[in-house]
Structure 1
Amino acid sequence: MIDPDAECRRLAGFARPSAASPAGFWWLDESGRPDPAEPVHTWITARMTHVFALAHLRGDVPEAAALAAHGIRALAGALRDDEFGGWYASVSGDGEPVGTLKEAYAHAFVVLAASSGVAAGVPGADALLDEALGVVQQHFLDGSGRVVDSLERDLRSGEAYRGANSSMHTVEAFLAAGDVTGDAAWHQRALAIAEHLIHGVARAHGYDLPEHFDLSWSPLLDYNADRPGDPFRPYGCTPGHLLEWSRLLLHLDASLPDAPSWLVEDARALFERAVEVGWSADGETGFVYTTSWDGTPVTRLRLHWVAAEALAAAGALHTRTGEAVYDEWRRRFEDYIETHLVDRELGSWHHELDEHNRPSHVIWHGKPDVYHAYQALLLARMPLAPVLSVQLREPQAAWNERRERPRP
């Protein structure tokens, strides 16, 4: 079995070289070296800032505080658009913008990074969080509180597309913002997004959540049918996202004073459907990346983040229900990760395996970041609320007392 503390230290150590650019955190190759063929991505910089904030709170590596501060400076600096506001999707190593599109996905991670930075006491994180929440609320939520997937640089227009992936990570970000700031309105905004996409759309589709929508949120079931292995917008159902949503619903359930019962019911259903259509669906161990709408595998590659989210979801369901079956699944997923994904030779986890669980590089090259692996090891064993950064900052009892204290 994996020793989560030792593995978190190993992952954080692997990720240290990614801070080589003053513009942010680099994409890493198989050996943990910065990949100069990639720009500095906002989503990677934000995710690594989040990880190093947690690593600082845990004491995983001695330089974690400095690395988290590096990320906060980059997000407040080269990756931020001083003219129009918001954050570029990516910049070159010397800080020049690459493209003009601004993505809700990346902005959600900026909120997460800033929230974790605030909890870890990183200088500048408070101001970054205030700004990021303002940008997201003003520009990336529509009048119904649903996520606007992308905008042009001036934040005035964007693609005729809405997506479940950016919405999911916005829920994650709002949970963190609500816990760190003490403002329960962020939890309610997260609940509204989840209620629409999961209790509404996913439930109506037998919990095979459509990922892609037009501007009126009508599902586009054939979207990217000619690109089934897209890393961010694949065709069909993505079992890994069902697992990720399952866990997020349980965090919401633990965070809300009057949580609706459907949160736990839908979390169970999502997990069961993900296992049914995704786990060993082609006769080989592991989760397939995507399935068609009749439940058959489409992209049979095994991605590390899916196994990480399976581990975290099983742990969360066991924590919430106490049922042994979920702990059995947690152990099964952990065994799979230890056997097939953990790279003891070069470090980190293999980000992609083929259908026979051999290292592969069809969708993902290298080992871009450690976000999914690092936090899954913690999420599988820690309480469901508050978010990890707040749990690591203060005892559970102190947080409960602070949450229950009337706001001035």
Structure 2
Amino acid sequence: MRPPLANIPNNRHHDADAFRFGTSAHRDFLRKDAKRQFDFFRSSVRPEPGFFVLGYDGNPLTDTVQELHTTARLTHSYALGHIFGLEECDTVIDKGMAYLWSHHRDRDHGGYLWALDGETVHDGRKLAYGHVFVLLAGASAKMAGHPDADRLIDDVTAVLETHYWEGNHGLFADEWNRDWSPFSSYRGMNANMHGVEALLTAFEATGRETYLSMAGQILGFFVNRIAAAENWRLPEHYTADWQIDRLYSGNPMFRPGGTTPGHSFELARLLLQYWDLSGRPENNTQEVAWKLTERALSDAWNNELGGFAYTLNFDGTPAIGSRYWWPVTEAIGVLASFLKLGGNQVQHDWYSRLWCFADAHFIDYENGGWFPEIDEQGKPTTTQFLGKPDIYHSVQAALFPLTSGLSKLGEELRGALIS
């Protein structure tokens, strides 16, 4: 499926080569965009423990609540920046690693608290979604040479294995109260998908086969059992025995009803990463990853305005049409994976189209970073997010295409700043 050529916005600052995969102009563009993002988000560091959330202009917002995934994702991202060769990343890594251990880690009950406000526990729930990002932060920090990485990896791995991993299903449960009493029977794809990301990164950092095995079990369930039976779409929500819960609809950002095409892009890229780390066995992985990707591209792309609908109904029709930055970044990531494998013209067209769209609507050339959402006129808006949530999605979109492989981003980034 070749994307229609109408409504591709003119780029604001670059010639066409800047958005063609593999060109020297594109690699130069990616390096500059990554560097500008790292420069912007350094202002997240608070004088006291923890991080600020930044407004569009880069100034701290007044809200002082610190959520676990934000702490972990900043730490992970700046670990990648350190490996990439940028200076002044260590302050963020050190701050994040210290705050995860001294504040988010629950000294009374174990595990990691979801949200803090200064020295006060703002939300004490224990969410798998947050814990897998702690593992991701620890794994990336280890590859960056941080001295506290092994301690964090071992601690959060023990928590994940003890409280979340359901060996009879090969999947992560989702949530507990602070004292590990039951919070709900909810099961979900999002925490498991990011769990695959963290497990694969932990395998790359440590070489422990158990991480690779767990990632494979999660992928097998969602790809072979669920997506194959759902016309290559991925329902988000499940019952305690891992049956699709088609009536569930929760938090409109973290748990909207239906399917989320951005997660299909992420899972497809992770499937290729797992295949690569497993020695590229002769199977249908590339075909299946493209089915997931193509279905999400076809269902979710707004042919009139560009961008992706945030959520879809189970038949692929748009549900929440809001256009956010992160599905675009994740589509860029998986398309880069296919292009590293040789690719085809359809994949090249989509890849360039998405970078053109991001350039025209999401990249903030005045202040730095990316705008998280746009309105019907394609202008930045603030209906769902306060400020610029974090660097995680957009900086990986810039870094991943700079490497030649499908996996081991932490290794392959070394030297990419100047190569």
Verify same fold: TM over 0.5.
Answer: yes
What RMSD in Å do the two structures reach over aligned CA positions? 1.8
For residues 85 and 323 of structure 1, the distance between their equivalents in structure 2, rounded to whole angstroms, comes to: 49
Shift of 1:348: 0.8
Q: Which moved more, 1:266-275 or 1:137-146?
A: 137-146
1:254 partnered with 2:280:
no
Shift of 1:42: 0.9
1:33 partnered with 2:46:
no
The C-alpha deviation readout for 1:107-126, integer Å capped at 9, x for no partner, is: 11100100010110112111
Partner of 2:41: 15
Aligned residues of 1:313 and 1:380 also touching (Cα < 8 A): no
For residues 356 and 274 of structure 1, the distance between their equivalents in structure 2, rounded to whole angstroms, comes to: 23
For residues 410 and 228 of structure 2, the distance between their equivalents in structure 1, rounded to whole angstroms, comes to: 31
Partner of 1:200: 225
Partner of 2:330: 309
Partner of 1:116: 140
Aligned residues of 1:69 and 1:123 also touching (Cα < 8 A): no
Out of 363, 379, 384, the position equivalent to 2:384 is 363
For residues 19 and 336 of structure 1, the distance between their equivalents in structure 2, rounded to whole angstroms, comes to: 30
Q: Which amino acid aligns with 2:325?
A: H
For residues 223 and 383 of structure 1, the distance between their equivalents in structure 2, rounded to whole angstroms, comes to: 40
For residues 414 and 204 of structure 2, the distance between their equivalents in structure 1, rounded to whole angstroms, comes to: 12
1:154 partnered with 2:179:
yes
- If asked which structure has higher relative contact order (CA below 8 Å, sep 6+), I would say 2
Partner of 2:31: 5
SS at match of 1:91: strand
For residues 334 and 48 of structure 1, the distance between their equivalents in structure 2, rounded to whole angstroms, comes to: 23
Shift of 1:208: 1.6
CA shift in 2, pair 1:385/1:95, >3 Å: farther
Normalised to the residue count of structure 2, the TM-score between the two structures is 0.89
Shift of 1:174: 0.2
For residues 274 and 226 of structure 2, the distance between their equivalents in structure 1, rounded to whole angstroms, comes to: 18
Q: Which amino acid aligns with 1:163?
A: G
1:214 partnered with 2:236:
no
For residues 259 and 70 of structure 1, the distance between their equivalents in structure 2, rounded to whole angstroms, comes to: 40
Pairing of 1:356-395 with structure 2 (within 5 A): 356-392=377-413
Number of equivalent positions:
389
Pairing of 1:55-74 with structure 2 (within 5 A): 55-60=81-86, 62-74=87-99
Aligned residues of 2:78 and 2:89 also touching (Cα < 8 A): yes
Shift of 1:133: 1.2
Q: Which amino acid aligns with 2:236?
A: E
For residues 155 and 258 of structure 1, the distance between their equivalents in structure 2, rounded to whole angstroms, comes to: 39
Q: Which moved more, 1:240-249 or 1:379-388?
A: 379-388
Pairing of 1:3-402 with structure 2 (within 5 A): 3-20=29-46, 22-60=48-86, 62-92=87-117, 94-144=118-168, 145-224=170-249, 230-257=252-279, 259=281, 261-281=283-303, 283-392=304-413
Identity %: 33
Partner of 2:11: none
Normalised to the residue count of structure 1, the TM-score between the two structures is 0.91
For residues 82 and 99 of structure 2, the distance between their equivalents in structure 1, rounded to whole angstroms, comes to: 18
Residue segments in structure 2 that go unaligned for 5+ positions in a row: 1-17, 19-25
